[in-house]
Amino acid sequence: MGISEQKFNQPAEKASDRGVNADFKGRKLRAALWIGLPVLCLALPQMMDNTYYLGLVNYMILFSILCMGLNLILGYAGLLSLGHAAFYGLGGYTTAILITRYGVGFLPCLILSGVIALLFGILLGLPTRKVRGDYFCLLTIAFGEIFRLVAQAWIDFTNGAMGIVGIPIPTLLGWSIRTEVDFYYLGLGLLAFTWGSLSLLVNSRFGRAFIAIREDELAASVMGINTALYKIIVFGIGCFYAGLAGSYLAVYQTTVTPSNFRLEESCLMIIMVIVGGMGSLLAPIAGVVIMTLATEYFRDISEYRMLIIGVIMVAVLLFRPQGIFGTSAFKG
């Protein structure tokens, strides 16, 4: 091979080496994150002396579970639900009633709370065969308000506006969950389950079908996807995680009331998902952290707090429309 050929091949070889090195560094960085992040999460309670801040983290975990389930409905399937707080409430009341009146253990209550929310989600999802878009959004708003009004008016069953109080300390497989640290690890376990199960789902053929429906429902149906069935499935699954979060709330607060599950809560979840980023599995957690910290920081000026939160959301929509960590699919 001549000198000119050597010079010609040399830059290509160097570029190839640079690509290999960059890929290797990327793998090392991802490995460090996957190892370091769980270690940090497990060690976090030992690094926080103030139980108030740990309680704030526990609420972040709670809303992260809610928003990851809502992101499946909104971010992956493109269905706007403003009644998510109702399914959250179904989980909370199911656990509260079963524990306080029938002495059922926490683990069965947790599972049943998720299943009941899933079943109601499927029932509400059935009309998606006939209605869509704004009409479906109005349907979810109506369901959320009906749930709240029933919970407030059905005094014999839900104890009305006073709610169900005195929920006993939960026990899980012999572990008595009493302190903020205990609830932190319980919430962390539920969050890990939510992320793991959703990760498997969105990377399966079901997840690809959800994304296809979001991008173009007509094209998806032409390709052979039963869009009506898949929308019912995705809505029910998203509601299942809301039921789990409601069960966690019931034992954590030791009380549930209709005021916990208002329309404002659903709107806050939507804002968290949008700010964090739709269509990305972990992105809503960023929205939860930002909006929770903003809510706490502006607590002293509570009359302007929702205005400031609205300004934050508008700013994100203007300058980062896909959310902080969302995919580029929602730029338009």
**What are the pLDDT digits (tens) for 58-82?**
999 999 999 999 999 998 888 888 8
Q: State yes or no: pLDDT of 8 exceeds 50.
A: no
Cα-Cα end-to-end distance for the chain: 53
Q: State yes or no: pLDDT of 221 exceeds 70.
A: yes
Q: Which of 29-33, 46-50, 90-94 has the highest mean pLDDT?
A: 90-94
Q: How far apart are CA 15 and CA 18, in angstroms?
A: 5
Contact 217, 224 (CB under 8 A): no
The reported pLDDT for the residue numbered 327 is 58
Looking at residues 310-314, what average pLDDT do you find?
76
For the stretch 276-295, pLDDT in tens is: 888 888 888 988 998 888 88
Within-domain flag for 61: yes
Lowest mean pLDDT among 6-15, 44-53, 219-228: 6-15
Domain count, the chain: 1
Q: State yes or no: pLDDT of 16 exceeds 70.
A: no
Q: What percent of the chain has pLDDT over 90?
A: 42
Q: Which of 18-32, 153-167, 299-313 has the highest mean pLDDT?
A: 153-167
Query: For residue 82, what are its two tokens?
Result: 């403003």
Q: How far apart are CA 210 and CA 194, in angstroms?
A: 18
For the stretch 186-210, pLDDT in tens is: 999 999 999 999 999 999 998 899 8
Q: State yes or no: pLDDT of 330 exceeds 50.
A: no
Query: For residue 133, what are its two tokens?
Result: 């878009």
The reported pLDDT for the residue numbered 182 is 93
Within-domain flag for 220: yes
Looking at residues 264-272, what average pLDDT do you find?
89
Contact 298, 308 (CB under 8 A): yes
Within-domain flag for 268: no
Q: State yes or no: pLDDT of 329 exceeds 80.
A: no
Contact 81, 137 (CB under 8 A): yes
Within 8 A by CB and 6+ apart from 169, the residues are 176, 177, 178, 251
Within-domain flag for 30: no
Continuous segment of H or E residues that includes residue 149: helix 134-153
Q: State yes or no: pLDDT of 7 exceeds 70.
A: no
HSE-CB at 321 with a 13 A cutoff on CA atoms is 6
Lowest mean pLDDT among 33-47, 176-190, 253-267: 33-47
The reported pLDDT for the residue numbered 167 is 92
The reported pLDDT for the residue numbered 32 is 65
Q: How far apart are CA 235 and CA 70, in angstroms?
A: 9
HSE-CB at 74 with a 13 A cutoff on CA atoms is 30
Of 133, 138, 139, 122, nearest to 231 by C-alpha is 122
Range of the domain at 129: 50-262
Backbone angles phi, psi at 255, to 5 degrees: -160, 150
Within-domain flag for 231: yes
Q: Which residue has the higher pLDDT, 219 or 331?
A: 219
Q: State yes or no: pLDDT of 319 exceeds 60.
A: yes
The reported pLDDT for the residue numbered 316 is 76
The reported pLDDT for the residue numbered 297 is 79
Within-domain flag for 105: yes
DSSP for 279-316 reads T-SSHHHHHHHHHHHHHHHTGGGHHHHHHHHHHHHHHH
Q: pLDDT confidence of 317, banded at 50, 70, 90?
A: confident
Within-domain flag for 34: no
For the stretch 131-153, pLDDT in tens is: 667 788 888 999 999 999 999 99
Output helix, strand, coil percentages for the chain, rounded to the nearest 5: 80, 0, 20
Contact 284, 68 (CB under 8 A): yes
Of 285, 294, 283, nearest to 323 by C-alpha is 283
Rg (CA), the chain: 23
Q: How far apart are CA 240 and CA 179, in angstroms?
A: 26
Within 8 A by CB and 6+ apart from 287, the residues are 67, 271, 272, 273, 274, 275, 276, 277, 323, 324
Q: State yes or no: pLDDT of 11 exceeds 60.
A: no
Query: For residue 279, what are its two tokens?
Result: 């269509």
Within-domain flag for 303: no
